[in-house]
Amino acid sequence: MENTTIYALGTPAPSRARPGALSVIRFSGPRAAEVLIFLTEPHAFGRGHSARDPALPPPRRMALRTLVDPLTAEAIDRGLVVWFEAPHSETGETMAELHLHGGRAVANSAFAAIQKLGFCRLAEPGEFTRRAFEHNKLDLTEAEAIADLVAAETDQQRRQALQQMDGALHRLYEDWRTLGLRTLAHLEAAIDFPDEDLPSGIGDEVRESITALRAEIAGHLEDKRGERLREGLGIAIIGPPNAGKSSLLNLLARREAAIVSETAGTTRDVIEVHLDLGGWPVVLADTAGLRRTGDAIEQEGVRRALARAATADLRLLVLDATNDWKTAMAELTADSGRWDPSSDIVVVNKIDLQPVDFAGVVALSAKSGAGLPELLARLQHSAAVLMEQGAAAAPPLTRARHREALIDAEAALGRALVAPEVALAAEDLRLAMRALGRITGTVRIDELLDVIFRDFCIGK
C-alpha cells in the first residue's frame, strides 16, 4: 500500500463570489504531524523535528497557531490546528487538519507552503475514505454511505445514508456470509470425511439453511425502498398533448424547466426535475404527449413517454378539463398492467376554464395554481405508500452494485440446492459467499475499489 502523506481541501474551493468563512485542509499519512510542525514553527523546516516538539499540540486537541511559510517563515494566516495519532483517526493513519480563514489567497498560499515541504501530494477523489477502508476503519457499504450522506438532498435520504454509515448493511451482509460459511463448513466436512459418522440428516440441515438464506436474500431483493430513496422516486407525467403537462412541471419545480408552448407536441424529449416532497426525493419526468401521430419525431417522443411511464414508480396522468377528459381517463387507466390505482394520480387541468368536481381526481389549474396543495398532498401520500410498501425491519438494499452481487449470490444458492454432488454444492455455496463478500469488500477486487472511490469528492 502506498504510504505518501496526502492532503486536500476538505471544504469547497473558495471562489470570489462565495469565499466561505473557513477553509479546512486535511492531511493523512506518516508525516502528517511533521507537516504541522513545519508549517507552524518558524525555521523548524530544515532543522528537523522531534516527537515532543513544542509546536505540536496534544493529539485530538485544537490549538491556535500561526501558519508560516516553511522556507521564509512569513506568516500566512492564524487558525486552529489539530492532529490525530495513528491508528486513532478517520483513516487509521496519522492525520492533521488546518482550519484557516476562507478565501482564495489564504488557500493558495497555504497550498504553496505545503508544496514547498516536498513530501506531500494532493489526494485523489475518495482517497481518504479509501485509506480508511484499507485500514479496516469501515467496509465498502459504509464508505458508500459516506458518499451518499454528502450527496443527500432530503431528510429521508440523509437518514438512510446515516443508518448505512453506522453499519446496518455491513452487519446484514456479514451475518449472511457467516451463516453461509458455517453451512459450507458442514458440507466440506461431509466431503473430507465421507466415511466418518457425521450426524444423520446433515443433508437436510444444509438444505434448510441454504433455502432460508436464499429466501432472505430474495426478500431483500424485492424491497425497492432503499434504491428509490437513494435515487429518487421516479414520477412520469403523462397525458395527451396540450393538457398542461409542461405547465404543471413548471408549477411544481417553480422554475422554467420545461418548454411550455401553444403548439401541440413540442415537448418531445423527456425532461427531469428533482423535487423534495416532504423528505421523499422525487425525480419528475415530463414526457411528450400521448397521441397517435404521423410526425416521426413526435412519435419517438410518445414511445419514450410510454416507456418512461412503464418504468416509473408513479404515474401522473394530466388531462384537459375542456376536452373529453373522462373518455381519455377511462382509456388510459383501463390497462391494469400500466396503471396502479393505489398510487397513480389523475389530474384534470385547466379548471379555470372549466370547473371539475369528480371523486378521485385532482382538479387543478396549472395556470393559477388552484388545486396545487391537494395535488402535493396526494403526491406525498403516494410516495409514502410506495416507500413503505413491504417495509421490513431489515435495512433496505440501496445500490445497483449490491443488487448485482446479491442476484449472483441468490442464483448460486439456487444452484447449490439442485447440485447433483456435494462437492458441486459446496462450490456454488463458495461462489455465493464470494458474491456477498464483494459487497462489503471482505473479498477484495482492486478494479472495483477504483470505480467506487473515483465517484467521491476530493477531500473525502
Please tell me whether the peptide bond between 87 and the residue prior to it is cis, using omega within 30 degrees of 0. yes
Does residue 244 touch ligand GDP according to CB under 6 A?
A: yes
Out of 343, 349, 398, 440, the residue judged to bind ligand GDP by CB under 6 A:
349
Q: What is the C-alpha separation between 358 and 398, in angstroms, rounded?
A: 39
Smallest gap from Cβ 374 to ligand GDP, in A, equals 14
Report if residue 365 touches ligand GDP, rule: CB under 6 A.
yes
Contact between 92 and ligand GDP per CB under 6 A: no
User: Is 315 a binder of ligand GDP (CB under 6 A)?
Assistant: no
Q: How far is the CB of 320 from ligand GDP (least distance, A)?
A: 8
Of 65 and 245, CB closest to ligand GDP: 245
Minimum Å gap between C-beta 294 and ligand GDP is 18
Residue 245 binds ligand GDP, judged by CB under 6 A: yes
Cell of 47: 532543522
Q: Which of residues 180-219 bind ligand GDP (CB under 6 A)?
A: none
Calculate helix-pair angle for 140-151, 446-454, nearest 10 degrees. Answer: 10
What is d(CA 358, CA 290) in angstroms, rounded to the nearest whole number?
23
Give the range of 41-49, 151-159, 241-249, 332-340 binding ligand GDP by CB under 6 A.
241-249
| Of 66-74, 136-144, 148-156, 240-248: span binding ligand GDP (CB under 6 A) | 240-248
Indicate which single residue of 75, 112, 185, 353 sits in contact with ligand GDP (rule: CB under 6 A): 353
Largest CA distance in the chain: 87
Q: Does 140 bind ligand GDP (CB under 6 A)?
A: no
Cα three-residue angle 452-456-457, rounded to 5 degrees: 165
Choice from 261, 331, 424, 444 touching ligand GDP (CB under 6 A): 261
Closest CA to 397 of 261, 242, 220, 161: 220
- The 289-308 site mask, x for binding ligand GDP (CB under 6 A), equals x-------------------
Q: Does 98 bind ligand GDP (CB under 6 A)?
A: no
x-marked contacts with ligand GDP along 367-396 as a string, rule CB under 6 A? x-----------------------------
Binding residue (CB under 6 A) for ligand GDP from 40, 141, 242, 398: 242
Q: How far is the CB of 240 from ligand GDP (least distance, A)?
A: 7
Q: 345-349 and 314-320 as β-strands: parallel, antiparallel, unpaired?
A: parallel
Partners of 96 in the beta sheet? Answer: 27, 83
* d(C-alpha 331, C-alpha 254), whole Å: 31
By CB under 6 A, the residues from 41 to 80 that bind ligand GDP are none
> Which residue number, 136 or 368, has a Cβ lying nearer to ligand GDP?
368
Is 287 a binding residue for ligand GDP by CB under 6 A? The answer is no
Rounded least distance, CB 263 to ligand GDP, Å? 8
Q: Which of 132, 210, 243, 405 is in the footprint of ligand GDP by CB under 6 A?
A: 243
Pull the grid cell for residue 298.
Answer: 413526435
Our CB check for ligand GDP shows the closer of 370 and 391 to be 370
Nearer of residues 289 and 441 to ligand GDP, judged by Cβ: 289
Q: Among the candidate windows 97-105, 223-231, 258-266, 397-405, which touches ligand GDP by CB under 6 A?
A: 258-266
Q: CA nearest 313: which of 289, 277, 349?
A: 277
Partner residues linked to 64 by β-bridges: 80
Q: Interface with ligand GDP includes 241 (CB under 6 A)?
A: yes
Indicate which single residue of 23, 246, 343, 440 sits in contact with ligand GDP (rule: CB under 6 A). 246
Number of residues that bind ligand GDP (CB under 6 A): 20
Cell 486537541 belongs to residue: 61
Shortest separation between residue 290's beta carbon and ligand GDP, angstroms:
10
Residue of minimal Cβ distance to ligand GDP: 244
Contact segment (CB under 6 A) with ligand GDP among 7-15, 40-48, 254-262, 295-303 equals 254-262
Q: Using CB under 6 A as the criterion, which residues of the chain lie in contact with ligand GDP when the complex forms?
A: 239, 241-247, 260-262, 267, 289, 349-350, 352-353, 365-367
